[in-house]
């Protein structure tokens, strides 16, 4: 009898632990859902302010006034349902408060990728399924809800109304917002987007070799640095149609404020010697310059 009671107690304990485990998993899923992200390879990767300014067609100080979902970009994708893939995008309207390069304007519309479709797709409804064989059972319900356009590019973070930025921009694609065509600008690279804090200090969106040079710098000093910096413009390379950033000479005095030493692709941790000789950053190949890609209007 005692053995039977012990067995029942153990079964009850196992059941309680199982319920607790399932409950914990459910809680973590619904209240701490991981946000799917994807890493993008950007066309331009400026290593210095000289390169960033050279690659930018416009450099502006601006405030976010509106963030609006645009019509999806529709691109051909053989093998996908309908033969197309849709990419969710946003158009960020910004009031220009100052122009350091390019033609002055009252506002700009900035292109941002809002989401990339996930690979898994919703199952078709059972009403469209063929007749069920005799003795067969229905498949279980989907364990997790279906999500579409939820993968975010990790360094192209969302904009919020009222935020202020210094931004290095190039001409972006023409998109549609509620059927209306809008010419947009796009970032040279997310590393060329610098948030201006309430204390008027600079906070880089991307904590990389370029951004960390100016982290915490007062706005006026940052603007002065941009204005006095020369622009290293792309030039034709040796190959047909090739564009490159030419070699860049770096003098010791250019390292002022940087606790690092120059390497061919940026800044590595370490102390910069006062006796450091002039160094040279090698050529960097760029995408061929040309018009922004066109997308099919299949909506």
Q: Show the CA angle centred on residue 62, arms to residues 57 and 66, nearest 5°.
A: 110
Instruction: Check pLDDT > 50 for residue 273.
Output: no
Helix, strand, coil percentages (3-state) for the chain, rounded to 5, are: 20, 35, 45
> Boundaries of CATH 2.40.50 in the chain?
35-117+146-233
Instruction: Check pLDDT > 70 for residue 22.
Output: no
H/E stretch holding 30 reads helix 2-31
User: What average pLDDT does the chain have?
Assistant: 71
Instruction: Check pLDDT > 50 for residue 144.
Output: no
170 token code pair = 């190039």
Report d(CA 60, CA 185) in Å as an integer: 11
Calculate Rg over the CA atoms of the chain.
Answer: 27
Report d(CA 292, CA 89) in Å as an integer: 16
Whole-number Cα distances in Å, 127 to 91, 142, 166, 242, 259: 39, 16, 54, 55, 65
Q: Per-residue confidence at 14, pLDDT binned at 50, 70, 90?
A: low
31 token code pair = 């209240």
- Nearest Cα neighbor of 107 from 68, 60, 67, 70 is 60
Q: Compare 249 and 217 and report the one with higher pLDDT.
A: 217
Q: Compare 285 and 60 and report the one with higher pLDDT.
A: 60
- Nearest Cα neighbor of 112 from 69, 164, 64 is 69
Q: Per-residue confidence at 19, pLDDT binned at 50, 70, 90?
A: low
Average pLDDT over residues 179-207: 93
Report d(CA 80, CA 85) in Å as an integer: 7
Half-sphere exposure of 30 (CA within 13 A, CB side): 7
Whole-number Cα distances in Å, 287 to 123, 234, 236, 250, 256: 40, 10, 11, 24, 31
| Residues forming beta bridges with residue 136, ordered by sequence position | none
Instruction: Check pLDDT > 50 for residue 207.
Output: yes
DSSP state of 251: -
Q: Are 247 and 230 within 8 A, CB to CB?
A: no
For the structural domain made of 35-117+146-233, what CATH number should be given?
2.40.50
């Amino acid at each position: 009898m005692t053995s039977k009671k012990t067995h029942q107690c153990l079964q009850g304990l196992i059941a309680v632990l199982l319920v607790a485990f399932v409950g914990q998993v459910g809680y973590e899923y619904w209240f701490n859902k991981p946000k799917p992200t994807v890493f993008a390879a950007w066309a331009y990767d400026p290593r210095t302010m000289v390169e960033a300014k050279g690659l930018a067609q416009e450099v502006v100080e601006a405030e976010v006034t509106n963030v609006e979902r645009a019509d999806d970009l529709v691109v051909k994708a053989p093998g996908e349902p309908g033969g197309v893939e849709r990419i969710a995008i946003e158009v960020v309207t910004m009031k220009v408060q100052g122009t350091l390069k390019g033609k002055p304007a009252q506002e700009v519309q900035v292109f941002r990728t809002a989401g990339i479709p996930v690979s898994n797709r919703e199952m078709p409804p059972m009403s469209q399924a063929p007749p069920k064989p005799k003795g067969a059972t229905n498949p279980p319900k989907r364990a997790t809800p279906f999500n579409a356009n939820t993968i975010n590019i990790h360094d192209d973070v969302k904009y919020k109304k009222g935020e202020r930025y210094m931004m290095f921009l190039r001409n972006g694609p023409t998109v549609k917002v509620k059927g209306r065509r809008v010419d947009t600008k796009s970032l040279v690279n997310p590393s060329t987007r610098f948030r201006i804090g309430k204390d008027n200090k600079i906070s880089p969106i991307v904590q990389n070799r370029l951004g960390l040079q100016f982290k915490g710098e007062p706005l006026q000093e940052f603007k002065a640095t941009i204005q006095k910096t020369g622009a290293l413009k792309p030039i034709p390379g040796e190959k047909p149609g090739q564009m490159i950033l030419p070699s860049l000479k770096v003098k010791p005095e250019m390292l002022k404020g940087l606790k690092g030493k120059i390497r061919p692709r940026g800044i590595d941790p370490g102390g910069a010697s006062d006796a450091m000789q002039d160094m040279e950053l090698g050529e960097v190949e760029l995408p061929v310059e040309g018009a922004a890609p066109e997308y099919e209007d299949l909506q």
